[in-house]
Chains A and B, each alone.
Chain A
């Protein structure tokens, strides 16, 4: 493994763990309004100072980590699940099933994804659940196309033909032969996607369509702080820097995955014997 990968993985783990331990690490309740302490500068008891309602900025950022990361993970995993099932079905079955899914996805992909997400949220109303569903629908369409392409590329491999000749059922074929072989490229896409989803979540929350006040979320916090850009830019800088660091680290990890054969091949080597055991 490259040092770049190790360093960025460690840092991501650090952020994830501090998010998980937020209730113990945070010095204050993230939503505790205390107007007597509003807009304080960083001090020992408030490491990053307080916002316009006297809430501890550091605690809000810690709790915001939980919100952003868990939402992003859930969204990516859910859409990956949907994409994997439909993509395999579409790629393996072919024919009219494939045709139907492809035309449907064409229609969705004709829209810029952010616009369609906003439009879907407009239909259901603002809120984090609606935002999550909208993002899952749009991401799943991308995954369907991606998985279908992968399935197509391995469909003609000898081991698939061998499995087919030996009478493997379609279900077993998917689970034992196709899915294990398309996991490594998917992994690269997924790490990159978590970063993008974090950005989407923060952008949608920033305009007020995603996570709603008073829940601490990075994008929503930037929106909260924007009227204080002249006097207290700290309110926007802190969450902004954290979004940037998180996305940058995930991009680095994704880069190292796709560059290094070191990660892909042991995984594939582990998977290959299983595939050829028939």
Chain B
């Protein structure tokens, strides 16, 4: 049988339609498309895709189940390794992980592993009526700090082994970056809620409104009887560029902008939490968060949205698919440009003019690529005298975050690196006995799946340590 060279296309909402709504962009495979795509898998012997997956899902095995039309069987295989399949199928950068390793990818397009994973998870969520069963308790208690991807994964893995797990979440809703950061059109909140619900069925207790480091300290958790603590508190304070004008009204960090829209639902027609809607928007940065912010701005009614990024398309760190979607929707990419100043409105004749102090534009300088830096990426260098201005009303800074100081400053003996990330060994163990950490709290801004991988590694190490007690 001849190999179909390309992946089956993902059905999408049309760009001109989706640019004005918050519904999911990708609609998902039908069972027919999924079965056909599954048929492209060679089921090769060396299974390189499994090693490409940070949580080592048995990929060929679940794909074989799809071929057999046993979608629930496929789900069971995925859920052995992943606590959040419906999430990963949507937001994992498969093209640089499992799919990059795919044998088929040497000559053709890789098998659409991510799309198949998503299909299987969605199929399970819409067909399965049985609740997950909590296993027999093993008597050990573990506390997890933060309910983002690393925390939920760690909690899920431990709960499946019979640990009594409590997850402490600072915000009012569980999910971490999956609910405050990633927008509805890329990851519907109902899907995150469903995955959280599954964990609760497994016996995981989720306590919202508890800020570890403030409400309770890590040491108090041990005093309360937890034998191990996993810190997955995520990234912290947003970075700014330290250029003039960043305090003008209308300048947001991506964290604030996305939190207002996603967690606080400011995208709704009559929201309780306000956000600036419409007008012209510049998003500074080139990662997935920048794409999310830019596409959110569009959906909030912006007439024009720019991405301002200091390197070229080749260095843009966002997933290719997200960049393509953004381009299709009409986001204007201003590459090799760097902001030097944010301009504000100021009426000299009327100090009470309500527009005073609001953003009126952004001044940028053109860049060219010079020598490669330590990371191998070519360093952008300003082109002298090339400044220009863009008229905008809103500026969103999406240039990364720095670790949150709350836990470090209240946990004696917890060592952090120069950038404030918690130092861990290969098992996720910190400088303190029985305290493990993973995700952005360790690495700084990274991906959902790498955080999940870290949660998984730590869960394994915690199990090994506690089961010997």
- Genuine A/B complex: no
Seen from chain B, the residues whose Cβ lies within 8 Å of a Cβ on chain A are none
